Structure 1
């Protein structure tokens, strides 16, 4: 079945992305993985090439591209080349941090921050998770108390993507302890603010080059002008932006699954056992047939979700469905592909070995599979209780 999802402009952009990765990322990637940190120069190169900051309006130095299919092209090429640590940081910038600033930022804030983010000069992060909260956002203990026009921010965050490099951190803080879900606000903490410190660079199972950190805020004085969005509506702002974050993880998961399948398809027809390619064994062919079918069926659904996002119609429930299904599919496919590679699948010099550790987190971050199912289940229950 021919896929008609992309147009000529998307394929032309694919050539740009592919050339950029071959020139600026692939030659350095193993060193970044060994050093457990992507060079900041890669961000500058990405900004210059138009690989990051796509949705930043032209008035602030970006391309002003809101068609998410261009981001899908980036995800596909990153998966194909196996540079997933680089892709994770870029995705956090474009699919998580930037939308908050674009959608909620005042004119002063957007003029101050967006040009640098579009150029790759400023790196963003969002700090939701705390050591004791995990997926329970309403359990956030970080607090911000008014002091004149400023806020005094105190608390700790963990598992923060881009945490080491981040110049701007969107912090979820409790600003009114008595207001429940209406008591949260978003504050932008900038590099160098007194009391803002970074803890250890976390040593993850995979995504070695992507910096993930613990962050600490000890009586950080945040100017009132760094309040993002509306005071007390931080939780609402999070709920409005989580569908895009979850769809981006779904896209990364499916592109990862397809890349793993393609690597394995070629491998099994090159590798011989018992005098013939292992791709000629019925079990191998059945495995390939099953994986390809699941990938193509899921691709059809995700394409519809991306088009719904473009139209402003993607719901939180549909994003949750896409996220849990695609990430669990990727987990199954990658595991099966490792098996078909045999012993070589367990070697890190093979891309499938790296994928085995890099992609496992997709069922966890952005909301676990269990949380996604709970969101969907609540929606089903609400529909049953509604009057006919």
Structure 2
């Protein structure tokens, strides 16, 4: 996979650092907007198994997406990464991973792609509507046989006189039932012999998607995920980026999604630790609050210490660095998989600290939060895929080895 530079431009919000009055004011505003938007619909969405797309409409109408992606002088291909991680962190802090992931797919994955590569009138129109929340987008890459191997894509886009005929299947299309447009990774057949190895990303209207199977997942029930069949024709200007650049374009969006996942993990872990701390302070056993049991409070202290390190790392990635490319695909992959594995551990430990009630769905949110956290290690790329990206950048120090190692 090509290494694509990820958001590395200095965040406007973090221009004076990721802390301080200005950042906290923005955080409180974002947190309040997300609570007002998501909390009234969260339970219904879980029951129905359908993402509440009206919530994205309300967030768009409030100007949240516009603020995230438009700069002072108009369209900014980087937007404000600092605001992006604050949105992700505060959505994660709500404790409804279904909703925070769905928000991220639209706000970070799709809008990052349309902002950077949407250079046709059709794509520009899609972007404008997506910023306003009137259009919901999703990304379709994985297929029934391919999984994480994006080079194994079998969905085909064949040249036609007016554009492209897209046929194939996408298995894990989250937001597929509520989207208006899906960005689909396809194998390009440009009419010159066998289907070449080139990939393209095409914007396909929802009318071209037919559900084959609605997938029942172990968690994140409110994030509808569907196995879709696609068979439709789209205009030539539906191609996002250059022919053959599909993997690069998709990776650009996935970089934003992965950084968002890391920030969601920060927010979700913070909520779980705060809930567990409150429980240990209120719950009395053997004549005293559980927090007075050294083994329990030190367990929380250790998790909280690691959370501090993760939060600073996420903020540093969003804040940007002066060396171009210093925060790219490999660095964000490392951050994403570390955060995903950490938040799963936090949820498990905090559920355990609640004891029996932590396992009861009708008494605490811990069982749902624990179950939902597992998606972070799969969505946006599995642990193994992330580690392979990191492994590709490993640099040996042969000089130090020669100086300090003597195997006889």
Give the TM-score, by structure 2 length. Answer: 0.86
Deviations, residues 57-100 of structure 1 (Å, cap 9, x unaligned): 37999999822221222223222221322211110011101111
Q: Distance in 2 between matches of 1:101 and 1:312?
A: 22
Unaligned runs of 5+ in 1: none
SS in 1 for 2:146: coil
**Equivalent residue number for residue 358 of structure 1:** 372
Cα offset for 1:210? 1.4
Deviations, residues 139-184 of structure 1 (Å, cap 9, x unaligned): 111111111132111100011121111111111000046543xx10
Closer, same or farther in 2 for the Cα pair 1:79/1:309, shift >3 Å? Answer: farther
Deviations, residues 201-228 of structure 1 (Å, cap 9, x unaligned): 322111111121111112x111111111
Which stretch shows the higher mean deviation, 285-294 or 348-357?
348-357
The reply on whether 1:285 has 2:303 as its aligned counterpart is no
The reply on whether 1:256 has 2:268 as its aligned counterpart is yes
1:242 to 254, 265, 274: 254
Closer, same or farther in 2 for the Cα pair 1:251/1:24, shift >3 Å? Answer: closer
Closer, same or farther in 2 for the Cα pair 1:60/1:213, shift >3 Å? Answer: farther
SS in 2 for 1:366: coil
Q: Distance in 1 between matches of 2:99 and 2:75?
A: 20
Closer, same or farther in 2 for the Cα pair 1:292/1:59, shift >3 Å? Answer: closer
Checking the alignment, whether the CA contact within 8 Å between 2:169 and 2:228 is kept in structure 1 is: yes
Which stretch shows the higher mean deviation, 278-287 or 310-319?
310-319
Checking the alignment, whether the CA contact within 8 Å between 2:110 and 2:138 is kept in structure 1 is: yes
Q: Distance in 2 between matches of 1:280 and 1:239?
A: 48
Which stretch shows the higher mean deviation, 311-320 or 224-233?
311-320
* Aligned counterparts, 1:1-388, within 5 A: 5-57=18-70, 66-176=79-189, 179-180=196-197, 183-193=198-208, 196-218=209-231, 220-308=232-320, 313=325, 314-349=327-362, 350-380=364-394
Cα offset for 1:304? 1.6
Closer, same or farther in 2 for the Cα pair 1:303/1:171, shift >3 Å? Answer: same
Deviations, residues 206-257 of structure 1 (Å, cap 9, x unaligned): 1111121111112x11111111100111122233443222111111122211
Checking the alignment, whether the CA contact within 8 Å between 1:271 and 1:277 is kept in structure 2 is: yes
Cα offset for 1:6? 2.9
Closer, same or farther in 2 for the Cα pair 1:39/1:60, shift >3 Å? Answer: farther
Cα offset for 1:361? 0.8
Closer, same or farther in 2 for the Cα pair 1:179/1:347, shift >3 Å? Answer: same
Cα offset for 1:374? 1.4
Which stretch shows the higher mean deviation, 367-376 or 311-320?
311-320
RMSD: 2.7
Q: Distance in 2 between matches of 1:72 and 1:239?
A: 18
Closer, same or farther in 2 for the Cα pair 1:155/1:311, shift >3 Å? Answer: farther
Checking the alignment, whether the CA contact within 8 Å between 2:341 and 2:377 is kept in structure 1 is: yes
Closer, same or farther in 2 for the Cα pair 1:40/1:321, shift >3 Å? Answer: closer
Closer, same or farther in 2 for the Cα pair 1:141/1:64, shift >3 Å? Answer: closer
Cα offset for 1:50? 2.6
Checking the alignment, whether the CA contact within 8 Å between 1:142 and 1:174 is kept in structure 2 is: yes
Cα offset for 1:38? 2.9
Checking the alignment, whether the CA contact within 8 Å between 1:68 and 1:306 is kept in structure 2 is: yes
SS in 2 for 1:157: strand
Cα offset for 1:107? 4.4
Q: Distance in 1 between matches of 2:397 and 2:211?
A: 45
Cα offset for 1:284? 0.1
Higher relative contact order (CA 8 A, sep 6+): 2
Which stretch shows the higher mean deviation, 13-22 or 200-209?
13-22
